[in-house]
Amino acid sequence: MTGRFDGKVAIVTGAASGIGRATAARLASEGARVVLIDLSAEALEAAMPRGDHLALPCDVSDEASVAAAVETIRNRMGRIDVVCNNAGILCSHAPITDVDMTQWQRVIGVNLVGPSLFLKYAGRAMIEQGEGGAFVNTASVAGIRSGAGGNIYSASKAGVINLTQTAACDLGQHRIRVNAVCPGLIETGMTRPVFDYARGAGKEGKLGSRCELRRYGRPEEIAAAIAFLASDDASFITGQALPVDGGNTASLNLPGMKV
């Protein structure tokens, strides 16, 4: 690999599986010392790449937990250069009239409050370092258009896109860039029920069929986009939400329109 992250420390939340795990592996392969963050210490250990990295259990929705994690990272790793806010959870597709408010608060807490807390505390650390930095938030095509997720999930990811834009305005003067990726249908542990249902119903061939590339994506493809946005190759890009969705958001894309 290119060594784009030699000498840099990168935090990846939701790093125990899926896109987060692929991102941690990608950044490590390009020279970063990676801090893998997730709820389960056991799952984090299984996801650890080889090298000088750190596994750190943390509830991203809890402010005290995030503040303590950032302080630990600064003490153990010496600096923070990149933060990939990837931790996220799904929810039911219940109509808005049947939304469970406990579920609403949990999804918003992980998907939206989590990134805002790392922007707050890791952003402060980057400002104190005075050397710039980069955040990449994982949003979703569900935050761009309806039909890709339930009410709560979609609202949380739309919030991530807006948070990305406003935080980019706040932090740009400190040479800290903030961008987002918006994955389409990707096979991960979080989306496994969708894939299991399709395969069980003999509809595996339809997975990703509404994308212009006529397929679903892999976590490694999202990790590649995240690595680009986090790197100096994207040094003049901030406040943007990049769909990585096989062309899903490029067309009207109504059911039955593609064959």
The Cα–Cα gap between 199 and 35 comes to 35
The Cα–Cα gap between 70 and 127 comes to 14
DSSP for residue 48: P
* Owner of token pair 């400190």: 174
Q: Is the dihedral of CA 72, 73, 77, 80 positive or negative?
A: negative
Amino acid at 5: F
**pTM for the structure as a whole:** 0.92
| Mean pLDDT of all residues in 66-82 | 98
Phi and psi at residue 24, to the nearest 5°: -60, -45
Domain 9-185+218-248, what architecture? 3-Layer(aba) Sandwich (3.40)
Q: What is the pLDDT of residue 152?
A: 94
Closest CA to 133 of 181, 179, 83: 83
Q: What is the pLDDT of residue 146?
A: 83
Digit-coded pLDDT (tens) for 172-222: 999 999 999 999 988 876 766 666 656 666 666 666 667 888 888 899 999
Q: What is the pLDDT of residue 188?
A: 75
Given 121, 153, 197, 216, the catalytic residue:
153
The Cα–Cα gap between 26 and 44 comes to 16
Give residue 147's region: left, alpha or beta (phi > 0; psi -120 to 50).
Answer: left
Above 90 in pLDDT, residue 257?
Answer: no
Question: Per-domain residue ranges for the chain?
Answer: 9-185+218-248
Q: Is the dihedral of CA 21, 116, 7, 125 positive or negative?
A: negative
Q: What is the pLDDT of residue 91?
A: 83
pLDDT band at residue 259, thresholds of 50, 70 and 90? very low
Digit-coded pLDDT (tens) for 76-101: 999 999 999 999 998 888 889 998 99
197 catalytic per annotation: no
Q: What is the pLDDT of residue 109?
A: 97
Cα 147-183-193 angle, rounded to 5 deg? 65
Which segment of 83-92, 125-134, 140-149 scores lowest on mean pLDDT? 140-149
Q: What is the pLDDT of residue 205?
A: 66
> Who contacts 19 (Cβ-Cβ below 8 Å, separation ≥6)?
86, 138, 183, 186, 188, 219, 222, 223, 226
The Cα–Cα gap between 61 and 38 comes to 11
| Structure tokens that stand for 37 in this block | 């963050």
**For every residue of 114-176, which 3-state class applies, written as one string?**
HHHHHHHHHHHHHHHHCCCEEEEEECCHHHCCCCCCCHHHHHHHHHHHHHHHHHHHHHHHHCE
| Mean pLDDT of all residues in 62-83 | 98
